[in-house]
Structure formats: structure tokens, C-alpha cells
Amino acid sequence: MEIKVPAKAGTMESNDIYIMIQPNDEGGIQLDLESIVMAQFGKQIKETILATLEELDVKDAHIIAKDRGALDYTIRARIETAVKRAI
């Protein structure tokens, strides 16, 4: 799926994640992640985001994610929502 317009999903409330997605002119996935559990879960959150993008067949995008302790199901849901809003 091609990211055509900037879009947002999620909230900054606890257990949620706020996602901003926009086209990436340089190509590929650029992910800027902030998380309150970066030390313990940063790697897993990144993997979840990248896996979700791959499932949605998104190849080029710039993603800014601000995580407030979201579980994987929420991360996947917010990425999917942001992508669907951006195509």
C-alpha cells in the first residue's frame, strides 16, 4: 500500500500508542519511536510495528510513534488505522 497523505491514529493515554505516518520520499521505512518502556520493550515494539507494516504491504513510510505502554494488539491496531487513513 502506498502512503499518500499524512495521517494519525491512537492517543497519548496510558496503554495506548500515538502514531503519525507520512510518505517517505527517500524510500523505505523510517521509524522514530519513543516509549515509556524503551529499555524493556523497545525492540519488541519496533518489531511489531515493522511486522504490521509488512503485512499491510507498506514499503515506504516515515512513522513517528509515541508509546505509552501499549500491548502488541493495540500497536497493531493503531498502525493499521494510521495506514488505512493514509492511503
Partner 1 sequence: MKNVLGREIPESIQGYGTVKPFKGAFESLGNVEKKSVQLRSIVPGESKILSSIREAMEKCNIKDGMTISFHHHLRNGDYVLNMVLEEVANMGLKDIKVAASSIFPIHAPLVEHMRNGTVTGIYANYMSGPVAEAISRGELKNPAIMHTHGGRARAIQAGDLKIDIAFIASPTCDSYGNINGVQGPAACGSLGYAIPDALYADKTVAITDNLVPYPASPIEITQEYIDYIVEVDSIGDPKGIVSGTTRITRDPVGLKIAKMTSQVIEASGLLKDGFSFQTGAGGTSLAVAAYVKELMKEKEIVGSFAAGGITGYIVDMFEEGLFKSLFDVQCFDLKAVESYRDNKNHQGMSASMYGNPHNKGAVVNNLDVMILGATEIDTDFNVNVTTGSNGMIMGGSGGHSDTAAGAKLSIVVTQLMRGRLPIIVDSVTTVTTPGESIDVLVTERGIAVNPQRQDLIEKLKDTNLPVMTIEELKEMAEEMTGIPEKIQLDDKIVAVVEYRDGTVIDVVRKIKD
Partner 2 sequence: MERLRRTMLFMPGNNPSMLQSAGILGADSVILDLEDAVSITEKDSARILVRNAIKNINFYDTEVVVRINPLSSGFGIKDIEEVARVKPDALMVAKATEEDISTVCGMLEKIEEEEGFEKGSIKLFPLIETAYGIENISSIIASSYRVIGVLLGAEDLTADLGIKRTREGEEIFYARNKVASVCRAYKISAIDTPFADMDDIEGFKKDIQKAKSLGLTGKAAINPRQIDTIHEIFAPSLEEIDYAKRVMKATEEAKKEGIGVFSLDGKMVDAPIIARAEDILKNARLAGLL
Q: Which of partner 1, partner 2, none is residue 44 near (CB under 5 to 8 Å by kind)? A: partner 1
Stretch that binds partner 2, among 24-32, 39-47, 57-65, 79-87 (CB under 8 A): 79-87
- Given the complex with partner 1, which of 30 and 40 has the nearer CB atom? 40
Question: Footprint of partner 1 on residues 15-74 (CB under 8 A)?
Answer: 15, 36-37, 39-44, 68-72
8 A C-beta contact, residue 24 and residue 45: no
What angle (nearest 5°) sits at the alpha carbon of residue 51, between those of residues 83 and 39? 105
- The cell numbers describing 73, all together, are 494488539
